[in-house]
Structure 1
Amino acid sequence: MKLSFGLIAIALAAGLTTGSLAFADNFEKPGAEIQNEIPAELKEATITEHLGEKIDLDMKFKDETGALVPLRTYVADGKPMLLSMAYYSCPSLCNFHLNGLTDAFVKMKEPLGEVFHHVVVSIEPKETPDLAKIKKDNYMKAYGRPEGAQGWHWMTGEQANITALSKQVGFGYRWDEEAKQYAHASAAMVIAPDGKITRYLYGIVFDPKTVRLSMVEAAHGEVGTTMDRLILYCFHFDPKSSKYSLKLFNIMRGGGVLIILAMIGFIAPFWIRNSRKASQGES
């Protein structure tokens, strides 16, 4: 009888999970605003991780002064590089990404350039060093630490090099003619001094300690694991509203699994104890 109770409890937990999934599914259908599948037009605008692979450090881009510089320049001192692919005329996501990183940089003890360099490469070949300088100047004001200017680099380049670099780091993007802007994801790539990709930092909010430790690992060539995907798993970026919205279905699905595991963890000891008592009674 006690054994049956354990089975009933687990079945009940499974039923609650199924019910929550059904509720989440029904909740999403009427509005059709939150989709679980990536829209076809955005499938090209995703991140494909290439952890452990190397980028071509000899590729050249123009910095904000107009000088043609190989990427190798920014790791020549043995320090790693944090790479962001964005574009300076972006009306939404790029700004959120760069704002989030700037907030993290402000909270770090060391100024940019002391532990690592941050390199921003524009994906728009029409953008110029002049625009890159304007962007850098604006962010330097927000950063408020002039000594970090030598560690922050804003690049523009030709389409061939932009395409090559984006493929090497797995940064997908496409032009959205209707919105008149690029569709792309938000992630910063951690690059070791030898050009190895060691970690991807996703999102628009970045923990300063996580960023710094990721760079310290990269300095030693250590390839990390991606944990930030678990956070973004619960969010969906809507390019039309330029905001992240909570994905209730994913939260409920994850919560349902946790309910089952918690119930099993609670019931299992009683189940095992009762089974042993029953076996001893029979003997």
Structure 2
Amino acid sequence: MTPAFRLLLFGVLLQLPLLVAPAWGHSTADQVLGQIGVDEHPGASVPLQTGFRDPQGRPVRLADNFAGVPVVLSLNYYACPTLCPLVFRNLAATLAGLGDLKLGRDFRIVTLSINPQESAALAHDKATKTYAMLNEVREPARFWPFLMGNQREIEAVADSVGVRYLRQEGGDYAHPNVLVVLTPEGKVSRYLYGLEVRPRDLQLALVEAADGRIGSSQAANRLLLYCFHYDPVGKKYVLFASRLMSWVMLSVLALTGLLIALLWKQERGPRAPGPSKPTT
């Protein structure tokens, strides 16, 4: 082996860790991303008889939160330093833009920690801070509980809605930011993604899950569902332009017909009597 070849081989061996390390890191990242996400299960039933506990340690069944109205399910964890508190804050802000839909009367929210070792103190802290943002809701703990449970029950709920998450080495969890809207019977109706959900999307998802039977006007709900539809690609509700134009055209035709009928009636009405002929 010549000195020049030895020098070349030595240089390659020095660079080998730098070449391999990025590949290792990329593989690990791919593995993490491959294990978290959402496999949508529309129409699937959540296990309503699973038992959990609230921050005070009281036992709670998932079924206790279903009272004939839709339920918004969020899977988070209370030790999360940044993203989960942001989700709670944004969701509280979204509730203020739901029009006449009110938490408690028209729907409920259930937040379930995906960490089976969750701290009750942290759960209480997150709940208290979130309730402080719900100024117009009386007894918010009744309608938006922050629950904890053991691994089997947590996984049963997560699996039923298709949410995949991963506990990392440092104890944090990688999980998707998604709200699962459930029907009053506990079936999956819609998934809403992102750190912040638009009020219109949540409003439409709730109305859809309740089949229009919430809020102050079922007729207005039917009109909303007629004019908007869920875009499975963009993962949000969009205006159904063709239906809206059809409704506008029908309205214009109806008004035109009414105007013609009024003019025709006015034209056919009794005429004023003419001058009388003189008598002889």
TM superposition shift of 1:50:
0.5
**SS of aligned partner of 1:118:** strand
Which residue number corresponds to residue 51 of structure 2? 60
Confirm or deny that 1:88 pairs with 2:78: yes
TM superposition shift of 1:131:
2.5
TM superposition shift of 1:175:
1.4
Task: Give the fraction of aligned pairs with identical amino acids, expressed as a percent.
Answer: 31
How do residues 122-133 of structure 1 correspond to structure 2 at under 5 angstroms? 122-133=113-124
Matching residue within 95, 98, 113 for 1:105: 95
* Structure 2 letter corresponding to 1:92: T
Which residue number corresponds to residue 134 of structure 1? 125
Partner Cα distance (2:201, 2:86) in 1:
18
With over 3 angstroms needed to count, the CA separation of the structure-2 counterparts of 1:148 and 1:217, relative to structure 1, is farther
Normalising by structure 2, we get a TM-score of 0.63
Matching residue within 205, 211, 215 for 2:202: 211
* Structure 2 letter corresponding to 1:142: M
Partner Cα distance (2:174, 2:65) in 1:
28
Task: Note the alpha carbon deviations across 1:69-108, whole angstroms, 9 max, x for none.
Answer: 1111111x20111000000111232223222211101223
With over 3 angstroms needed to count, the CA separation of the structure-2 counterparts of 1:46 and 1:111, relative to structure 1, is same
Which structure has more RCO (C-alpha within 8 Å, separation ≥ 6)? Answer: 1
Partner Cα distance (1:88, 1:60) in 2:
19
Task: Note the alpha carbon deviations across 1:184-211, whole angstroms, 9 max, x for none.
Answer: 1100001112111000000011111221
* Structure 1 letter corresponding to 2:86: F
**SS of aligned partner of 1:166:** helix
* Structure with greater Cα Rg: 2
Task: Note the alpha carbon deviations across 1:43-76, whole angstroms, 9 max, x for none.
Answer: 111111001111111111112332211111111x
CA-atom RMSD in angstroms: 2.7
Partner Cα distance (2:232, 2:176) in 1:
13
Partner Cα distance (1:229, 1:133) in 2:
37
Query: For the Cα contact (< 8 Å) 1:51–1:197, is it kept in 2?
Result: yes
* Structure 2 letter corresponding to 1:161: E
Matched length:
194
Matching residue within 230, 234, 238 for 1:230: 234
The range that moved more, 55-64 or 139-148, is 139-148
* Structure 1 letter corresponding to 2:118: E
Partner Cα distance (2:230, 2:193) in 1:
9
How do residues 117-196 of structure 1 correspond to structure 2 at under 5 angstroms? 117-147=108-138, 149=140, 150-177=142-169, 180-196=171-187
Partner Cα distance (1:144, 1:229) in 2:
35
Which residue number corresponds to residue 268 of structure 1? none
- Unmatched runs of 5 consecutive residues or more in structure 2: 1-25, 214-227, 237-280
Confirm or deny that 1:72 pairs with 2:76: no
Partner Cα distance (2:43, 2:172) in 1:
31
Query: For the Cα contact (< 8 Å) 1:111–1:148, is it kept in 2?
Result: no
**SS of aligned partner of 1:143:** coil
